[in-house]
């Protein structure tokens, strides 16, 4: 096994950069300006100067005629779930597409925790190369986490697989609207919220503060786990997480646009929720899953990694969760949600209504990017899941009939 590490500096923002540099105070100074003038968005808020004006059509852009006859009230259901973008890819061809007024097909959208499922594919690539062993202890790769919840008891050590499957008890509240919750402290450390004086200075520091009772084997959704995986990715690849995401996934999609990821004061990518991309490019990720781990630019992950995800995780570990109330046979594995239903649907999910929905039975990928008024809602999850299931049923019905749309290959 390669990739075993001792405590080391974090990847530099550019080759030869001193630790922690450049900062907001030093980015204009040489030699930092050679890098920062081309990467200003990592240091200062930026706004797009769009090549289109107005930026999007006056009316919603949509091509839904392939589905409207077979999915009742489709347009109304998209509007009721605050949908910004909706796309159905079947047999690697665009079958249906919708964009709300003011949002365009090549606009990037924050995908929140669908970012976790993207991280899964980066980890999977490094598992295939032998750089990461899922059975290895987390602290083998990141010794800075010794003494934290990720260390575990001497006879009950936390492995990479535990982190992938989120089967660790952590003193971490994922209550997105509670200012006292750990997830809000996590956000502040990653510069997603205004930092308080007592907060850790960056994401790395925040992860070293986490504690728990050491129990393993029960599912607990915790966003910190994905950032631990990203730290392992950095340590084993020698790349910044944003670079590893490019090398092992995005560069192999034949994507229309670069994705973006938010970074903290050290340049560490917010792997658990910070990726933004177009609906079409996210659908390309789903197509890689359906194609057994191969993209236009070559293999991303092994077939075994894909098979393990579609096989699902432990339903016992998931018992009693809000997900299992919607999907009684549901589970979570390798940063993906597995419905356990007869269609074999697997999905990446992000708060406020982000879905990358895979339907192997119909050979289809569905992307729904929304902006629900609340972050996590059983009501809206139920509406959106029912819609995606109904689309799958409509695709089944259409497969025995004449073509229902002039299709467009996504590549």
* Residues 207 and 146: beta-carbon distance below 8 Å: no
DSSP annotation of 301:
S
Residue 302 falls in the annotated catalytic set: no
In whole angstroms, what is the distance from residue 17 CA to residue 262 CA? 20
Please name the residue that has the structure tokens 């100074």: 29
Q: Where are the alpha helices (DSSP H) in 294-345?
A: 303-311, 315-318, 322-326
First to last CA, the chain: 36
Pairing relation of β-strands 346-350 and 354-359? antiparallel
Sign of CA dihedral 152, 158, 164, 167: negative
Q: State the Cα–Cα distance between residues 298 and 288, nearest whole angstrom.
A: 10
Catalytic residue, from 36, 113, 120, 237: name it: 113
User: Rounded to an integer, what distance in angstroms lies between the CA atom of residue 191 and that of residue 340?
Assistant: 36
How many CB atoms are closer than 10 A to CB 326? 15
As annotated, the active-site residues are: 113
């Amino acid at each position: 096994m390669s990739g075993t590490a001792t405590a080391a500096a974090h990847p530099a923002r550019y080759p030869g950069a001193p630790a922690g540099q450049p900062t907001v105070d030093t980015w204009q100074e040489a030699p930092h300006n050679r890098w920062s003038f081309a990467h200003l968005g990592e240091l200062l808020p930026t706004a797009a100067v769009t090549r289109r004006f107005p930026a999007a059509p006056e009316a919603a852009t949509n091509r839904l005629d392939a589905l409207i006859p077979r999915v009742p009230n489709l347009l109304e259901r998209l509007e009721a779930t605050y949908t910004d973008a909706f796309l159905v890819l079947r047999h690697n061809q665009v079958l249906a597409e919708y964009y709300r007024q003011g949002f365009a097909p090549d606009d990037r959208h924050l995908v929140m925790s669908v970012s976790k499922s993207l991280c899964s594919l980066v980890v999977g690539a490094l598992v295939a190369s032998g750089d990461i062993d899922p059975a290895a202890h987390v602290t083998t790769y990141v010794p800075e986490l010794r003494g934290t919840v990720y260390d575990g008891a001497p006879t009950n050590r936390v492995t990479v697989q535990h982190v992938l499957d989120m089967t660790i008890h952590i003193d971490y509240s994922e209550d997105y609207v509670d200012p006292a919750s750990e997830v809000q402290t996590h956000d502040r450390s990653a510069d997603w919220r205004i930092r308080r004086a007592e907060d850790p200075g960056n994401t790395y520091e925040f992860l070293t503060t986490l504690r728990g009772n050491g129990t393993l084997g029960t599912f607990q959704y915790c966003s910190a786990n994905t950032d631990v995986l990203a730290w392992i990715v950095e340590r084993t690849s020698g790349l910044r997480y944003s670079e590893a995401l490019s090398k092992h996934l995005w560069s192999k999609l034949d994507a229309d646009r670069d994705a973006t990821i938010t970074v903290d004061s050290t340049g560490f990518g917010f792997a658990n929720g910070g990726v933004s991309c177009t609906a079409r490019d996210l659908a390309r990720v789903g197509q890689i899953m359906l194609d057994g781990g191969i993209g236009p630019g070559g293999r991303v992950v092994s077939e075994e990694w894909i098979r393990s995800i579609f096989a699902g995780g432990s339903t016992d570990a998931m018992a009693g969760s809000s997900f299992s109330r919607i999907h009684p046979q549901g589970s979570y594995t390798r940063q993906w949600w597995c419905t356990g239903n007869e269609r074999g649907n697997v999905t990446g999910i992000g708060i406020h209504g982000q879905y990358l929905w895979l339907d192997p039975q119909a050979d289809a990928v569905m992307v729904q990017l929304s902006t629900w008024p609340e972050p996590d809602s059983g009501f809206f999850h139920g509406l959106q899941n029912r819609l995606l299931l109904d689309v799958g049923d409509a695709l089944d019905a259409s497969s025995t009939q004449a073509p229902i749309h002039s299709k467009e290959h996504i590549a």
